[in-house]
């Protein structure tokens, strides 16, 4: 396949793509950020609990 043919086909395929609206992108991005923050807080809490438990075990 020639590079020119490939690029023409890529352009045609990109014209067929249904791109999300600006609002959909913002909404999805917000959802990802909130989800990541939730997961980060969850793992921080687990780390804190296990660290404190380990400290209690080691100190005795």
How many Å apart are CA 27 and CA 22, to the nearest integer? 9
Asked if residue 42 belongs to a domain, the reply is yes
| Residue 37 belongs to some domain of the structure | yes
Asked whether residue 38 is assigned to any structural domain, the reply reads yes
How many domains is the chain built from?
Answer: 1
Which domain, by its residues, includes 54?
A: 21-60
Residue 28 in domain: yes
CA atoms within 13 A on the CB side of 33: 6
For residue 55, give Cα distances in angstroms to 44, 45, 47, 51, 58: 16, 15, 12, 6, 5
Answer whether residue 5 is part of any domain: no
Q: What is the pLDDT along the chain (60 residues), one digit of tens a residue?
A: 788 999 999 999 999 999 999 999 999 999 999 999 999 999 999 999 999 999 999 987
For the chain, how are helix, strand and coil distributed in percent, rounded to 5?
A: 85, 0, 15
């Amino acid at each position: 396949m020639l590079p020119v043919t490939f690029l023409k086909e890529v352009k045609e395929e990109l014209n067929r793509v249904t791109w999300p609206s600006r609002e959909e992108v913002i909404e999805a991005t917000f959802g990802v950020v909130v989800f990541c923050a939730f997961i980060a807080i969850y793992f921080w809490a687990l780390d804190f609990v296990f660290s404190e438990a380990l400290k209690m075990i080691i100190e005795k």
